A and B are shown apart, each in its own frame.
Chain A
Amino acid sequence: MTRVTVTVDDAHRRSISTLARSLADKGMQVDRVMETMGCITGSIPSGTATAVATTLRNVPGVLSVDPDVAYRVAPPDSDVQ
């Protein structure tokens, strides 16, 4: 699975739960629905990620669908962290 963040426009933030259900219907495994930030995070099948992402982008209220970026801090014994 490819982890993604779906960003929702201001107009649809209030009804974000409904929008999340649409995303789920279209193949997203929804993890978190965050009304304050207007973001829905979860994952989509890696094999069809491009196609699914395009479908999700076309859902009214979706501003963008972005694959997760990985973050890492240096090991605890590093001088620079």
Chain B
Amino acid sequence: MEFSIPALPDPDPSTVPLGGTPVQTTGRFIVVFARGADAKATLARTAGVGTVADSRDFTAQAVDFSQTDGSDAVWFDALGVAVVTAEPAQLGALRTAEAGEDAIISVSPELIHHILDGDYLQGYRDGVSDLAGRLGAVERPAGSGALAAAAANPPFADNAQFTWGLQATGVSTSPQSGAGIKVAVLDTGFDVGHPDFVGRSVTTQSFVAGETVQDGHGHGTHCIGTSCGSKAPESGPRYGVAYGASIYAGKVLGDSGSGSDGGIIAGINWAVENGCHVISMSLGADVASVHPPYTVVGQRALDAGSLIVAAAGNNADRRVGNFGFVGTPANSPFIMAVGALDQKLDMAYFSARTLAGTRGGQVDIAGPGYQVYSSWLMPTRYKTISGTSMATPHVAGVAALWAELTGYRGRDLWATLAQDSQRLLQPSVDVGGGLVLAPQ
């Protein structure tokens, strides 16, 4: 698309950053409007912006700038964005409207961009930061992971109010509860008599022949606690992420801790048929290849709006240089594999590394998985254990919070978790996109 660049105003000396190349602006402003807003009316009413060229008037919506010189603004209809030539008073009016009205989301100077070239890039970045600081950074949408300031720095520790894992992931300060979201935990079942879950919506089903859903091991109760535990447990700190979610406890592992594909796939089938938005599976086998049923099962679950998260595996011992590998079903391409971090946000010593050379074999994300306090069988009530099994329900619970906030399901929900995770210095083969973060 060819267009002519109008004569540039001299760069405003106040925008020259220290030691950097000045950021150049055109003197125009980019105004972002909310979906459905009547932009032309808003521009006219708030800032007296008269003539607006409309992208829809051009063939294939390709705006020809040689024809827009006489206009005060150009409106890009598909994007909901206008480029506005504004006097200072008009700019002031637009910014005031931005603060008060629903129609305008942001007002930013139109920047001049260049091809990236060595030192210029450094100066450009410094300049943009400086300019953004002076003019006010663009508002980020609610819920996005601007968490660096909010979260405390590692090392984390359980305190009277929250387990360390809830603090590190920002769950402790998240407004979401997982209300309206169904979380299935496929594991050793659930202690249905645990006092911390009184009044919760709990649906149970056993897929282990000859055994009821009542948890005879503890592992399942611990994982349900982490993913969906109460906002206010009977005693001790809060240990659960999605305290408002509906719990679907599927027993696919016997009280002895063992299970097989038949029961697990039946559990997934049940969860998907019941509309569960998130399926948490803290189980795996040390098989260094993709097990074919889970490729199809994972895909069909995503198609139905269910996101499956599974433990990467505990077969590493990093203390002696063994990095392990992601086994099945986590190594399946359409199942999210979760690695385990400790309180310093270092890798837990047992956390399995990406299975190399295998599509789907990567660790996708990481969660708190070391010395995790959660519910256990009565009368023991609570227990602190470690594992990628513990990291997985953190991710499942946080997925429920994002699902509640955004309405996203399946692949969109996966993308949201990946986008908003906290990037770490650990290699991606160990942490994928990083530490899972809750909406703020």
For this complex, into which size category does the number of interface residues on chain A fall?
20 to 34
Identify which of B54-62, B74-82, B286-294 touches chain A: B286-294
Could you say which residues of chain B place their CB within 8 Å of the CB of A11?
Answer: none
Identify which of A17-25, A45-53, A66-74 touches chain B: A66-74
A42, B260: Cα distance in complex, Å: 11
Question: Smallest CB-CB separation from B216: which chain A residue?
Answer: A76
Select one of A39, A64, A79, A81 contacting B265, CB under 8 A.
A39
Identify which of B105-113, B277-285, B401-409 touches chain A: B277-285
Could you say which residues of chain B place their CB within 8 Å of the CB of A63?
Answer: 292, 296
For this complex, into which size category does the number of interface residues on chain B fall?
35 or more
Question: Within 8 Å of chain A (Cβ to Cβ): is B143?
Answer: no
Identify which of B64-72, B165-173, B191-199, B251-259 touches chain A: B251-259
Decide if B261 touches A41 in the complex (CB within 8 Å).
yes
Question: Smallest CB-CB separation from B273: which chain A residue?
Answer: A36
Decide if A73 touches B266 in the complex (CB within 8 Å).
no
With A37-B300, A66-B291, A68-B260: A73-B350 Cβ-Cβ less than 8 Å: no
Question: Within 8 Å of chain A (Cβ to Cβ): is B246?
Answer: no
5 contacts between A and B (CB under 8 A): A3-B261, A72-B258, A72-B259, A78-B385, A81-B219
Question: Within 8 Å of chain B (Cβ to Cβ): is A59?
Answer: no
CB distance from A72 to the nearest CB of B (A): 4
Decide if A72 touches B261 in the complex (CB within 8 Å).
no
Select one of A5, A34, A42, A71 contacting B259, CB under 8 A.
A71
Decide if A73 touches B253 in the complex (CB within 8 Å).
yes
B interface list, Cβ under 8 A from A: 187-188, 217-219, 222, 253, 257-262, 264-266, 268-269, 272-273, 282-285, 287, 291-293, 296-297, 300-301, 304, 314, 328, 350, 385-387, 389-390
Question: Smallest CB-CB separation from A34: which chain B residue?
Answer: B269
Known A37-B269, A37-B296, A81-B385; further 15 A-B contacts with Cβ < 8 A: A5-B261, A32-B262, A39-B269, A41-B261, A41-B265, A66-B261, A69-B287, A71-B284, A71-B285, A73-B217, A74-B314, A80-B385, A80-B386, A81-B222, A81-B387
With A71-B264, A73-B217, A73-B283: A7-B292 Cβ-Cβ less than 8 Å: yes
A4, B374: Cα distance in complex, Å: 35
Question: Smallest CB-CB separation from A73: which chain B residue?
Answer: B257
Decide if A5 touches B293 in the complex (CB within 8 Å).
yes
Question: Within 8 Å of chain B (Cβ to Cβ): is A38?
Answer: yes
A78, B218: Cα distance in complex, Å: 11
Question: Smallest CB-CB separation from A78: which chain B residue?
Answer: B385
CB distance from A3 to the nearest CB of B (A): 6
CB distance from B343 to the nearest CB of A (A): 15
CB distance from B194 to the nearest CB of A (A): 15
A36, B297: Cα distance in complex, Å: 9
Select one of A3, A7, A81 contacting B389, CB under 8 A.
A81
Decide if B265 touches A71 in the complex (CB within 8 Å).
no
Could you say which residues of chain A place their CB within 8 Å of the CB of B273?
Answer: 36
The 10 closest A-B pairs by CB, nearest first: A41-B262, A34-B269, A73-B257, A68-B260, A64-B292, A37-B269, A72-B258, A81-B387, A68-B261, A5-B293
Decide if B262 touches A3 in the complex (CB within 8 Å).
yes
Could you say which residues of chain A place their CB within 8 Å of the CB of B296?
Answer: 7, 37-39, 63
A34, B297: Cα distance in complex, Å: 11
A70, B328: Cα distance in complex, Å: 10
Decide if A66 touches B387 in the complex (CB within 8 Å).
no
Decide if A73 touches B260 in the complex (CB within 8 Å).
no
Decide if A69 touches B285 in the complex (CB within 8 Å).
yes
Decide if B262 touches A68 in the complex (CB within 8 Å).
yes
Decide if A71 touches B253 in the complex (CB within 8 Å).
yes
Could you say which residues of chain B place their CB within 8 Å of the CB of A79?
Answer: 385-386
Task: Indicate the member of A31, A37, A39, A78 with the most B CB atoms within 10 Å.
Answer: A37
Could you say which residues of chain B place their CB within 8 Å of the CB of A76?
Answer: 217-219, 257
Decide if A73 touches B262 in the complex (CB within 8 Å).
no
Question: Smallest CB-CB separation from B256: which chain A residue?
Answer: A72
